[in-house]
Amino acid sequence: MQNKNNIQNNKNYYSFSDYVKNKFGVKVGKISIDTDFGCAHKANDGGCRFCNLNSYKPPYVTEEDINNQWINGLKNYKGRYQKFYGYFQLGTPLSPLASKESLKYANKLVNFDECVGLMFGARSDMLEDNVLKELSNLSSSSGKEIWLEMGLQSSNDETSKFINRGHDYNSFAKMVNHIKENYSNIIICTHIIFGLPKKINNKVIELESRDDMIKTVKDVSALQIDAVKFHQLDIVKNSYFENMYSDYIFPTLDEDFYIDLMSDAISFTRSDIIIARLMGDSLGDSLIAPKWIKSKGEIINLISKKMKEKNIVQGININI
């Protein structure tokens, strides 16, 4: 990937928009692709407790035909972007059950002129070598990027067990190392969620501490990760946590805490890691809590402002 010299336009972090502008020279968007296989972890083991797949399914994804999904995406973003990634965002498109169909679609999508690459939601415990090899070969033969968006959420195993993540930190780290040792042209982006619950004490949900959350950032920065997406925990409808939010005292992060936390998190993020997202946003009326007053754009600007106030740039505290 690239280095700290690619932090541009007086920014104090290496953004996804800067990365694609450097590489492709134009604005690049993402077109969601739904293979309709759902989530294998949910089918097998109940799924992650924070998740409802429909809470982040774009409204333009209505077609079953992959070509039509791509065309609808182009229409939806007409005039906003010049190039696109095909984004296999929903469910587990590379699970053993779904990977054959997903790879078939992938081989079609890379032929579109507007496509610069493909992004796949992935679980470290559901990736097989034959799939990784085919993805690596596809990237080499097509000249298009292949991204794996591998969810981690937290490196704290107590938290991972509480949220029913289904794997521990060490197995995640081993898969990252395996991919980079054997399929180095695959780009790895991981997801981190701040504000996750860790345990219950007398009907009160105890969240991860600030130190827990920063440790996850440090652990991720120590791996061969290319990009990271940060999210706040959203309590969304039709998730396991919706019921817990009703039945327990379940605190969530407020805006000011999140802004300050993110400024520190970025300081512990390796300077060559692309920051692909600074906060999440659940779609439609699916959000239960937290209902922040400020817009996403305002919060992102305030994170950057907070970093300037604290004389922080990405990676400045990496050795602390």
Q: Which of 164, 169, 178 is nearest to 127 (CA)?
A: 178
Of the candidate ranges 18-27, 56-65, 296-305, the one whose mean pLDDT is the lowest: 56-65
Q: What mean pLDDT do residues 18-44 have?
A: 90
Task: Name the residue with higher pLDDT: 35 or 264.
Answer: 264
More confident position, 39 or 86: 86
Residue 297 has pLDDT above 90, yes or no: yes
Q: What pLDDT is recorded for position 8?
A: 57
Is the pLDDT confidence value at 13 over 60?
Answer: yes
Convert the pLDDT of each residue in 132-184 to its tens digit. Answer: 999 999 999 999 999 999 999 999 999 999 999 989 999 999 999 999 999 99
What does the pLDDT average to over 14-21? 97
Predicted pLDDT at 4: 46
Q: For residue 248, what pLDDT is reported?
A: 96
What distances in angstroms separate CA 293 from CA 175, 254, 283, 290, 298, one per listed residue?
Answer: 39, 10, 16, 9, 10
Mean of all residue pLDDT scores within the chain:
92
Q: CA Rg, the chain, in Å? A: 19
What is the pLDDT at residue 52? Answer: 81
Percent of the chain with pLDDT over 70: 92
pLDDT at 55 (0 to 100)? 57
pLDDT in tens, 119-133: 999 999 999 999 999
pLDDT at 1: 47
Amino acid 210: pLDDT: 98
Strongest mean pLDDT among 33-42, 64-73, 183-192: 183-192
Q: Say whether pLDDT at 219 is over 80.
A: yes
Taking residues 6-34, report their average pLDDT. Answer: 89
Q: Please give the share of the chain, as a percent, with pLDDT higher than 90.
A: 78
**What residues contact 253, with CB distance under 8 A and at least 6 apart?**
194, 195, 207, 232, 233, 261, 290
Task: List C-alpha distances in Å: 196 to 6, 152, 199, 201.
Answer: 32, 12, 10, 15
Domain ranges for the chain, please list them: 4-309
**In the predicted model, what is the mean pLDDT of residues 191-219?**
97
Tell me: domain 4-309, CATH 1.10.275.10, correct? Answer: no
- Give the pLDDT of residue 320: 64
Instruction: Give per-residue pLDDT as tens, 254-291.
Output: 999 999 999 999 999 999 999 999 999 877 788 999 99
